[in-house]
Amino acid sequence: MLECFSNTIIIGGGAAGFFTAINLAEQRPDLSITILERGKDVLQKVRISGGGRCNVTHAEFDPKPLTGNYPRGEKELLGPFHKFMTGDTIAWFADRGVELKIEDDGRMFPITDSSQTIIDCFLSLAKKHHIQVLTSQNVMALERHDHWKVITKTDEFTCDHLVVTAGSSPKIWEMMKCLGHTIVDAVPSLFTFNIVDKAITDLAGIALEARVEVPQLQLESQGPLLITHWGFSGPAILKMSAWGAVQLHNSNYKFDVAINWLNYISQEECYEMLLAKRDDSKKQISNDRLYEIPKRLWNYLVHSLNLEDKTWAECSNQILKELAITLTASVFKVDGKSTFKEEFVTAGGIDLKEVDFRTFASRKQENLYFAGEILNIDAITGGFNFQNAWTGGWMVAQAISQS
């Protein structure tokens, strides 16, 4: 059995863990630092993120709007983002030979379009700064004496400072409970909706700007909506799944979702437009789409009211009202969820009231720090979850280096 002392031990060999270790080593080369990873490989979430390209951060350079992308952690991250945020992340990677690029939607990736670039950067810096990286180290217990003791299946480690960056780990959360921390129950975030109606899922591949509501849960979202073979996806759905993670979980993922296919146009405005159509048009409805709604979707909506053979002039006020409702508030039954690609994110974790966000230190235990998804912080898709990891890791490194 290996018995090892390090000034700082970091539990979790992911983005937050490596970023903490490297920043601490650069500021305090006199300290010994060890990363313990339970798996056989480190940085696995970095590897698969962004479809293998690694969505490093997002091109939002004002702390306040940036915090608006965090359903949980919005208030707490404002102060830390004034210390280290997007511009600092870009500069940090550039100073270490990794250039980032901004895509049209604001997401930022390495110019190589490969997550391996980020992994190679971290691994080379860990080696350069003599950071000990140990894999297959499954932590079984934590003890607090004069020092911290970390017991794995095979070894024992002691340290002055303990940093937990283990992500959404129920096992580590349970250990934090034993140390006096409150754990907010974990629920999935960032998922897509499974739709019962096969007629709509047969339209897979259609994308458009839309407004989405779950009336009974008072949730709403707006943005690009994608129809898939199983239901609805796209930023509008993913944002709703993040902001409504707890309510949607409590509903057992069975609820009605209303879609406004015309985005911000109201039912009343739509009805007025349809009345105008009727007054001066003998065109067949199926051949006269509104607002360039995709043709397949328009045909589906018109067919749902049996209007495919009618002209605008043949429609009564009641028919036009029903069409206005269909265009601005089509209702579909959701029955379950699906994980969004590999971007699995969990809402839940260590209660944020128990963390000092000036240092990301525990308010319950001395010399215990957290960064990343171990905390009850999560974000919508787009690089924001990684930015939380970079900011937390940097703040922890600052705190330990100055202690």
Query: What CA–CA distance (Å, rounded) separates 289 from 298?
Result: 7
Of residues 339 and 297, more confidently modeled: 297
Q: Is the pLDDT assigned to residue 341 strictly greater than 90?
A: no
pLDDT digits (tens, 9 = 90+) for 168-189: 999 999 999 999 999 999 999 9
Tokens (6 digits) for 364: 């319950």
Look at 153-162, 194-203, 286-295 and tell me which has the smallest mean pLDDT.
286-295
Residue 216 has pLDDT above 80, yes or no: yes
Rounded Cα distance between 27 and 32, Å, is: 12
pLDDT exceeds 90 at position 1 = no
Assigned CATH for 3-186+346-402: 3.50.50.60
Q: Is the pLDDT of residue 307 over 60?
A: yes
- Hey, which residues does 102 pair with through a beta bridge? 108
pLDDT at 278: 87
**What is the 3-class SS of the chain, one letter each residue?**
CCEEEEEEEEECCCHHHHHHHHHHHHHCCCCCEEEECCCCCCCHHHHHHHHHCCCCEECCCCHHHHHCCCCECCCCCHHHHHHCCHHHHHHHHHHCCCCEEECCCCEEEECCCCHHHHHHHHHHHHHHCCCEEECCCCEEEEEECCCEEEEECCCEEEEEEEEECCCCCHHHHHHHHHCCCCEEEEEEECEEEEECCHHHHCCCCCEEEEEEEEHHHCEEEEEEEEECCCEEECHHHHHHHHHCHHHHHHCCCEEEEEEECCCCCCHHHHHHHHHHHHHHCCCEHHHCCCCCCCHHHHHHHHHHCCCCCCEHHHCCHHHHHHHHHHHHCEEEEEEEEEECCCCCEEEEEECHHHEECCCCEECCCCCEEECHHHECCECCCCCHHHHHHHHHHHHHHHHHHHC
Cα 100 from Cα 94, distance rounded (Å): 8
Residue 95: CB atoms within 10 A of its CB come to 8
Question: Using an 8 Å Cβ cutoff, are 368 and 162 in contact?
Answer: yes
Q: Decide if pLDDT at 274 tops 80.
A: yes
Decide the pairing of beta strands 368-370 and 156-164.
Answer: parallel
Q: What is the pLDDT of residue 2?
A: 67
Q: pLDDT confidence of 33, banded at 50, 70, 90? A: very high
| Type of residue found at 313 | A
| The predicted structure's pLDDT at residue 379 | 96
What are the residue boundaries of the structural domains of the chain, listed by start? 3-186+346-402, 191-339
Does the pLDDT of residue 342 top 90, yes or no?
no
CA angle 105, 107, 109 (to 5 degrees): 135
Per-residue confidence band for 396, with pLDDT thresholds at 50, 70 and 90: very high
pLDDT digits (tens, 9 = 90+) for 78-122: 999 999 999 999 999 999 999 999 999 999 999 999 999 999 999
Residue 353 is predicted with a pLDDT of 98
pLDDT at 344: 65
- Reported as a pLDDT band with limits 50, 70 and 90, residue 255 is very high
Q: Return the structure tokens found at 73.
A: 């952690």
Higher pLDDT, residue 340 or 234: 234
For residue 3, the model assigns a pLDDT of 77
| Average pLDDT of the residues of the chain | 96
High-pLDDT (> 70) share of the chain, %:
98
